[in-house]
Each structure stands twice: as structure tokens, then as C-alpha cells.
Amino acid sequence: MEGDNKLIYFNKSSIKLGELERYVITYDLYQGDDIPADIRLDSIWVKIKNTTKLSYKAAYLLGPFILYCDVRAKDYENSRKIISSMDKPVFQPNLQAQQNFLTELSLHEIKPRYVWIVDVASQIIFNKETKVNFEISIGSSKASLKKRTRCDDTSSGKVCNTSFIGLSVQRLTTAEIWEVPPAISLSQKSHLVILTHGFQSNVSADMAYMMEEIYKSQMNFPNERLVIKGYMKNICETEKGIKFLGIGLANYIINELYDDSVEKISFIGHSLGGLIQTFAICYIKTKHADFFKKVQPVNFISLASPLLGIATGTPNYVKMSLSMGIIGTTGQELGLKDTTYSDKPLLYMLSDESLINVLFQFKRRTLYINAINDGIVPLYSSSLLFLDYSQLLQKLAGEITSSCDPFFQPPVDPRKAPPNQNNNDSDNNKISTSSWNTFWKSKGNQSNKKSKRLMNTSVIKSMKSVVLPPCPDPEFFLNPDARATTIIHDKIYTEKDLPPPSSTLYEGTTLKGDDKTKKTRKEMEEIIARRWHKGMDWRKVVVSLKPDAHNNIIVRRRFANAYGWPVIDHLVATHFKRDDSDTPQKLNNRSIEEDTRTVTNSVEPNKLFSWLTKIEDPGAYRGGLVSTASHFASSWISKHSSVTD
């Protein structure tokens, strides 16, 4: 072929924290209905090189300077079985400084057009000023990729080999990837979907897969337009506290996203994002009382969110670090430390009925919960404490045993546990007393291996696997039927399903937590959980994911975190399947009826909830050790050299 061993395309670029670039490669093999007699099916080759200086490889506080890359056919669907291994997507989750990622684009069947998508995402976590430099080259052979001089630098970003007239490359930036797709109808109504990232995370890269999957459901809504957005300015600020982050998100929604076309709104939060969006909702309800009268709240969804904090389900060294403020105000809030404006933790104050009663208005309230392999957020916290733990352990028994998990012990036999004292037939749906007592006692005993396994894996391992995730094997991508069951529990819980409160919570007829009595953290968690359940039902979807479950649950990277695909599929199918605004949701023959209570405030909000609405001095929002160290490292580097060279 003319053009053998020649470069076809070359481009230099760089991406910062939360940024990704997409290269859409289109190759017209032939035109017209007739297949040319001299057609050639020679492969095309792609190389991505991380050109960051090798000296920055270990500069984690400024980076890490790592790229994630994947290449797939445009029509690839994770639910479709792949017959030819040449159609299998390829990816590199950990492209270090000065390393290359090389892959072949095979033309193994005769068809008029081939289209591939190449994604390159930044793995920077700690610093929003630095960037990862890279080059992408496309050639007619492996040899053509060895010497960039075959494609003049002045042609950067253009197809530079005239022998490949049918090949074109479209480069898309992060902003272009997040653009709202063209409307499929003339309707001006819009459904605003807010995605909220977690601690030391970002929306733009970490939640891009979720965004694109939700947009695929647009065809189900012919009379409205989905608009998916996320607040980008909270990156590198997540140590400053839930209030700081929540106010930023609320103001973004009110000042930048809302207009007269917005008729519906949904919130989807991952990890800390679940609490951030809760604060934002309460803030909007308090400061802008008419908002949820004009805009219909549809979905409130959290994924692995520490709704009860992480005070008791973590090792002692983590608790001490939280209390000391090693991750700033946020860590102290998650540790259920009393706030500067009250003798109660922020999460307790946020669960005030007059605040969260706005959640009554949401059509659906769903919690996605990691049962295992999540060392960041304990199961009890993301599930609002109350689950049928005996049933959950039985379902997990086979999987954990087959994986030779060292923490696993057989599930508790209910016949050997204290009998259920509740014999009322109308309460058959309640969490059994034996199940609850077994969990509650083991929760206080951190030496119990079974409870430890359900509540916490290694925090250190989980942090490491954000950038270095254990990836699925090739069979996972080729054969959907070979994938393990992910959704292991899906049930709607109401206040009536809850077991009786622990005896220590009561003082007369009043919950002790509602007076000035000082509570242990474990007692405070139960009090907060019961406040969230008061008069509200919650759909709780428990999932069993392989490590890193905390980031797999949102598919942080399309293929490296592919174990979470079924979770996103479930989320989209359940919450964006069709326009059912007038149809109650049904699950297990139980119907969820919308709460029609009117949200009112009899007291001027700035007096009743001054702790929520008062804008603090910037110094009140404290960063932690990581952000401080990253800032100093960045300042030092900027004085001595340029990271962006």
C-alpha cells in the first residue's frame, strides 16, 4: 500500500485534573455499493505517549501524572457478546510518564466505514494547576509510529498522509464531550440532572460514563430534554466541608442552570456527593422557597454515600485522623464531631425533619450500597443503617467463600439468634429483631471478622486502587453472560419496616438524641438514620462488586472500572426508562405513592436555620493536610521549574 510505514496523524496535547480528550477516528474503506477488487484490509496503528518528564513520576501531590487511555469501536455495547477478539476494546489505566500505549485498529471485515473512539483522561487528583502532556500518533504500521519526523510538526492535529484520503480524526475537548446533545423534539421543557462527585474527585472525567449512559435514555422522553450537568468548581476543595461544597452547588443550580425551561430536576451523588447534594437541596429549599414548587423533584439518588458519616466503621487511626482535621472540615463532619455553631454534628442537624421533608416531594429516593470491597464508605452508613443483614450475608456467602476472602465467616444462623419478639402479622415486612440485634452487637465489636468484612476493607488499599484499580479479565468484556450477579438486594424500606429502637436511645417517650443529652457516635448514627426514615420510604439497592468497589459503582473509568456497568444499567433503567411522571413506581408488588404534604416554614429561615444559610468567613472552611501539602509543593515547583513544559 502506498503510504506504508508513514505517519497518518499526529497531535500534541495536555489535560488537567478532571479533563479528558476524545479522538474519533473515521476511516472510509470504500465508497459506493461495489467493493473494489484491490481493497486492502491492512490495520491502522495508534500510539499514545505520556510525555511528562520522568522526574515527575513520583510527584503524587502534584499529580499523579498518569493517563488513562481506552480504544473501542464506536458501536461497542457492553451488553453485546463479542465474537471476534479483534473487536475487543483495549485500555491502559496507568500510563506513566514517558510510557507508550500502542494498539492496533483492525480492519478484519469488509464494510464501508470504520469508526473508533480513543479516550484519554487525566488521572491527576490533588492539583488543578498542573497537567499531563501527551502525544497521539496514528500510522499505517508499527514502524511508522517510531519516528514522528515523518509527519511534519506543523501538521499537528491534521491528517498528514494523503494516501489515507478516507481517514479523518475529530478531536473533542472535555467541554465538547459534556455538551447537551441536539434535541430530538421541539419541546422546550427540560429535565435537569445534577451529578455530584465525591471526595478528591471530579464530575467531568469521573462521572462522564454515567452522563453518557443517561443521555442514551433521551429517546424515552419525547416531550422533554435531558440536561446533565455537574458543578466543576468543587474540585480540590472537597476538604473544606459539606456546607462549603453544598452552598457552591446550590448557587450553581440557581444562578447558572435554572431558567424557565426547567420543569424537573434529579440529583445523583457519589460518595461525599450524596451529602453535598443533600445540603444543596436543603439550602435551596430554605433560601429559595418557591424553587421546588416551580420545579418537580424526580430522583434523589446516592451511590456509596456516607449518609451517617464514617465515625464507627473505620479503624482507630482513621478516626483519629478525622478528628485532628487531617482531611479538613469534611473529615471532622464525617467523624460526627460537634460543629462550631452547635453541640450537635452537622449530619444530625442536616437530618432535621423540617429540612429534609423536601425529600418527600421526590418521586424516587434510591440508595446504591456496596456490600463488600469498599474501604472508603461502610455499608451501614451508605444504607442508612437499616437492612436485612441476615439475608444479605446469606447471598454473599457463596461469593466471598469462592474468592477465599480471609475475613469471611458463615452467616449467622437465625435459628440460633434471639427469636423475633414481634408476632404481629401486619409487621411481617419488618427487619427481623434477630437480624438487627446480630448486626448491632457485632457493630460495636470491631474484632468480629464478619462485621468488619461487611463494614470496611482496607482504607489504604482502597485509596491506592483509585489510580491502580484491579481490572476485569478479557472474558468480562467478551461475554456478558460470564459476569457475576451484581445486584444482590433490591427492596423498598419504609419507617414501618424498621426494628424497634435500641433501648439506650429512649428516655421516657422521647429520643435522647433530640434533647441535650450527649450521645455516643454509635447512638447518634441510629438517631440520624431514624430521622431520615421518618415518614419516608427508601429503595435500597445493595451491590456486590469486586475491588475497587467504591469507584467501580460509578464506573469512574469506562473499562478499568467496568465491574460497575450493571449498577449504571440498573440506575438508568430504573430512573430514566420512560416518562412515568403520573405512574407510581412499583417494586415487589409494593407501590410508592407520592407524598403530597406541603412544605412550609413558619419561622423566617435565616433565624431558624442560620447555621445553614449564614455565609461563613472563608477561613472557617479549613482544608486538610493533603490540600496544604499539594499547595506548598506546587508553589515550590513553580519557583524552580515548570511542570507544564
pLDDT in tens, 485-537: 999 999 999 999 999 887 667 544 455 555 545 678 889 999 999 999 999 99
Please count the other Cβ atoms lying within 10 Å of the Cβ belonging to residue 296: 16
Nearest to 488 by CA among 593, 405, 400: 400
Highest mean pLDDT out of 139-143, 270-274, 622-626: 270-274
Residue 212: the pLDDT is 98
Instruction: Identify which of 173, 272, 190, 184 has the alpha carbon closest to the alpha carbon of residue 227.
Output: 190
| Backbone torsions φ then ψ of 642, nearest 5 degrees | -115, 120
Helices (H), 77-219: 174-177, 208-215
Query: How many whole angstroms separate alpha carbon 132 and alpha carbon 96?
Result: 10
Domains and CATH numbers, the chain: 7-177 (2.60.120), 190-592 (no CATH)
267: which strand partners? 194, 300
- CA 204, 206, 207, 209 torsion-angle sign: positive
Query: Which amino acid, 623?
Result: G
Per-residue buried b or exposed e for 15-42, using 16+ beta carbons within 10 Å of the residue's own CB: bbbbbbbbbebebebeeeeeeeeeeeee
**pLDDT (0 to 100) of residue 427:** 52
Which is more confidently placed, 547 or 102? 102
Grid cell in block for residue 265: 430536576
Q: How confident is the model at residue 433, as a pLDDT?
A: 65
Is residue 2's pLDDT more than 80?
no
Residue 575 has pLDDT above 90, yes or no: yes
> For a pLDDT cut of 70, what percent of the chain falls above it?
74
The rounded distance, in Å, linking the Cα atoms of 471 and 560 is: 5
pLDDT confidence band for 4 (50 / 70 / 90): low
Taking the C-alpha atoms of residue 223 and residue 209, their distance in angstroms, rounded to an integer, is 24
Measure the CA–CA gap between 29 and 42, rounded to whole angstroms: 10
The answer to whether the CB of 382 falls within 8 A of the CB of 369 is yes
Is the pLDDT higher at 388 or at 269? 269
Residue 164: is its pLDDT beyond 90?
no
Closest C-alpha among 640, 641, 644, 625 to residue 126: 625
User: What distance in Å separates the CA atoms of residue 471 and residue 213, rounded to the nearest whole number?
Assistant: 21
Cell, residue 23: 479522538
196 in Cβ contact with 269 (< 8 Å): yes
Over range 94-99, report the average pLDDT. 96
Q: Is 376 exposed, middle or buried (0-12, 13-18, 19+ CB in 10 A)?
A: buried
Is residue 253 predicted with pLDDT exceeding 70?
yes
| pLDDT number for residue 546 | 92
Q: Write down the mean pLDDT value for the chain.
A: 82
**Is the pLDDT confidence value at 424 over 50?**
no
pLDDT (average), residues 128-144: 92
The pLDDT, as a whole number, for residue 579 is 58
What spatial distance separates the first Cα and last Cα of the chain, rounded to whole Å? 38
Bridge partners of 492?
Answer: 539
Give me the pLDDT at residue 506, please.
53
**Alpha carbon distance 511, 623 (integer Å):** 34
pLDDT(149) > 60: no
pLDDT of 452 reads 47
DSSP 418: P
> What CA–CA distance (Å, rounded) separates 137 from 13?
11
The pLDDT assigned to 192 comes to 98
Higher pLDDT, 642 or 545: 545
Pick 100 or 59 by higher pLDDT: 100
Instruction: Report whether the peptide linkage leading into residue 548 is cis, meaning its omega lies within 30 degrees of zero.
Output: yes
Report the DSSP pairing between strands 364-370 and 538-543. parallel
For the cut 80, the answer to whether the pLDDT of residue 598 exceeds it is no
Which secondary structure element, helix H or strand E, spans residue 354, and what is its range?
A: helix 353-356
Identity (one letter) of the amino acid at 299? N
CB-count burial class (<10 Å; 0-12, 13-18, 19+) for 620: middle
CA atoms within 13 A on the CB side of 575: 32
Higher pLDDT among residues 16 and 59, named by residue? 16
Mean pLDDT of 457-483: 76
- Give the pLDDT confidence score for residue 318 in this predicted structure: 66
Position 123 pLDDT exceeds 50: yes
* pLDDT at residue 395 in the model: 81
Amino acid 375: pLDDT = 85
Q: Which of 31, 29, 64, 69 is nearest to 49 (CA)?
A: 69
Most confident of 11-25, 459-473, 566-580: 11-25
Mean pLDDT of 183-199: 89
- Alpha helix ranges (H) inside 459-548: 459-464, 474-478, 521-533
Owner of C-alpha cell 457552591: 248
Please give the Cα distance from 255 to 361 (Å, whole number). 22
Instruction: Say if residue 343's pLDDT is above 50.
Output: yes
Query: Is the per-residue pLDDT at 364 higher than 70?
Result: yes
Do 124 and 628 touch, CB atoms closer than 8 A? no
More confident residue, 394 or 449: 394
pLDDT given at position 152: 58
Stretch 95-102: mean pLDDT, rounded? 96
3-class secondary-structure state, position 498: coil
Q: Are 492 and 592 in contact (CB under 8 A)?
A: yes
pLDDT of residue 403: 40
Split at pLDDT 50, 70, 90, the class of 67 is very high
Task: Name the grid cell of 65.
Answer: 501524572
Crossing angle of helices 272-287 and 242-252, rounded to 10°: 60
Cell digits of residue 170 = 475529530
pLDDT of residue 533: 96
Per-residue buried b or exposed e for 557-577, using 16+ beta carbons within 10 Å of the residue's own CB: bbbbbbbbbbbbebbbebbbe
226 contacts 193 by C-beta, under 8 angstroms? yes
Give the residue numbers annotated as catalytic, written as ranges: 271
Contact 126, 62 (CB under 8 A): yes
Report the half-sphere exposure of 522 (CA within 13 A, side-chain side): 15
- pLDDT tier at 377 (50, 70, 90 boundaries)? very high
What's the confidence (pLDDT) of residue 553? Answer: 98
Q: E strands within 455-548? A: 487-493, 506-507, 510-511, 538-543
